[in-house]
Amino acid sequence: MTIRPILIHPDPRLKTVAAPVGEITEEIRTLAEDMLQTMYDAPGIGLAAPQIGRSIRLLVMDCVKEEGATPRPLVLVDPEITWSSEEAATYEEGCLSIPDQYADVTRPAEVEVTWTDLEGKPQTERFTGLWATCVQHEIDHLDGKLFIDYLKPLKRQMITRKMAKLKRERARA
Ligand SMILES: [Zn+2]
């Protein structure tokens, strides 16, 4: 398994609509393993393929955060939201592509998602709580959308400027 570098906003690859995966190949299985490793290492609770520069509809997540609890790594290939609750929930979100920046985002509190697993089997699950927020945030990545796109323009511009500066500093280091 390999830890892959995570793209930092602003990057045109984070604004691109990703293509369907289709057939699950050995390369896709390896990529999913690497993405899980990269996510746990960061550490984070979700990672989408565009964040490591692959423009395909693949994401991983594990929202089990309690110390000592059994991890629940999920790999979602070609996920689709098939139902969203009327009820909304607000969480303070962050993103591995926007380090150390957090803001409240309001989304549907529950969603039903269908996807294909790594064995090529169709899966459906209704997500609630942090899982619901996370899966919506990650599916947004597949559509070239970031959580800061939900914020007011001024706040979004402020964060984008900070990230551009961070990238310049990292490039010089
Ligand atoms: Zn993110």
Q: Which of 86, 87, 138, 169 is catalytic?
A: 138
CA of 134 to the centre of ligand 1 (A): 9
Token readout for 68 is 């000592």
- To the query of whether residue 138 is one of the catalytic residues in this protein, the response is yes
pTM value? 0.97
Tokens 């991983």 belong to which residue?
60
Span from the CA of 97 to the centroid of ligand 1 (angstroms): 6
Q: Which position has the token pair 């900070």?
A: 162
Say how far apart CA 49 and CA 67 lie, in whole Å: 27
Which pLDDT score is estimated for 88?
98
pLDDT at position 65: 85
Q: Give the Å distance between the CA of 114 and the centre of ligand 1.
A: 20
Query: What pLDDT sits at residue 114?
Result: 98
Query: 2 in helix, strand or coil?
Result: coil
Q: Decide: 76 and 135 in contact? Cβ < 8 Å.
A: yes
Question: In sequence order, which ranges of 25-152 are alpha helices (DSSP H)?
Answer: 26-41, 129-142
Q: Which residues are bridge partners to 111 per DSSP?
A: 84, 127
Write out the H or E segment, with its range, that includes residue 160: helix 153-172
Find the 173 Cα to ligand 1 centroid distance in Å. Answer: 24
Cα distance between residue 76 and residue 122, in whole Å: 10
**47 alpha carbon to ligand 1 midpoint, in Å?**
7
pLDDT along the chain (173 residues), means of 10: 95 98 97 98 97 98 92 98 98 97 98 98 98 98 98 97 95 88
Helices (H), 25-104: 26-41
Which of 6, 47, 41, 9 minimizes the C-alpha distance to 138?
47
- How far, in Å, CA of 130 to CA of 11, rounded? 26
Cβ–Cβ under 8 Å, residues 18 and 55: yes
- What's the pLDDT at 126? 98
